[in-house]
Amino acid sequence: MINKRKINPYPLYNSDNPLLSDYKDSLDIFIGKAFWIWNQDKHNEQFINTVGQCCFNHIIGKPVKNNKEYPIFDYQKLINDAVENYQDIWILKARGIGLTTFLIRYLAWKILSSSELDNKSIFIISGTREEHANYIKEKLQELFDKKFPLLKLESKYTELWLKNTWIKVFPTKNVKDIRGYFEASYIWVDESDYLEESIQDELLHAISPYEEKSNCKIILCSTPNRPDGLMQRIEKDKNSKYKKLKLDYTYGLDKYMIDNS
């Protein structure tokens, strides 16, 4: 008699299925999966054909706000395409469009869907204090709580290892510490327009060498702050190397936003 529990490669989508417990610690389910299937008809078809294992966000669970699930919104494909296709990305955003949530999920997907980031590093710069830097790390770690409750990720304060990738979150006051590392695959600076002017200059000098050393992708994102700040200086620079993406409040109208960042 064939033991179906042995040959079934992935848990069924139904979280009540008794087979699920056999695979809670396995992240192989994400290999080769799309982040999100942007064509709705194809997505619905794939969802049915794969029993809910169609993409990263359905497997790990869609974003939740106020106990309600929401999809990855259509306008967020602009973010996806910019990060996929360009090395330097500048995103000026309104509050409430879910950019922080999106990028946390995107980076987790990049790590888990292939071996591209095996033994690589990701640096995130966020918040003025270590408490906020650790909050970003915890948000990433919490992605797995619902569908993979037995999974134990190696982590410590402001640091997380996901599969074979090291993620380090720096508070803005420690921007200069980034200079002490050899390479990184992604550097994401959150709310970069709120850095003090001296730190903004230090930031650009600290992260720029990583592009040459390790072909690192740089993501600068922020809500608008000072008219003479970092984001506007880049926006006005006609020779800037950054792919520029502006997402004002109209992108989020009637979307029941997934977070306030």
Task: Give the model's pLDDT for residue 16.
Answer: 43
> What phi and psi values does residue 81 have, to the nearest 5 degrees?
-65, -35
pLDDT tens per residue across span 150-197: 888 899 888 999 999 999 999 887 788 888 888 999 999 998 888 888
Q: Is 50 exceeded by the pLDDT of residue 92?
A: yes
CA distance 170 to 136: 10
**CATH 3.40.50.300: does it fit domain 73-252?**
yes
Q: Is 50 exceeded by the pLDDT of residue 31?
A: yes
Between the alpha carbon of residue 99 and those of residues 2, 60, 105, 238, 254, the distances in Å are 46, 18, 10, 25, 16
* Contact of 95 with 223, CB cutoff 8 Å: yes
* Contact of 83 with 35, CB cutoff 8 Å: no
* Chain length of the chain: 261
Which region among 42-56, 118-132, 246-260 has the lowest average model confidence (pLDDT)? 246-260
Domain layout of the chain by residue ranges = 73-252
CA distance 185 to 70: 29
pLDDT tens per residue across span 188-244: 999 888 888 888 888 888 898 898 889 999 999 999 888 888 899 999 999 999 999
CA distance 165 to 119: 5
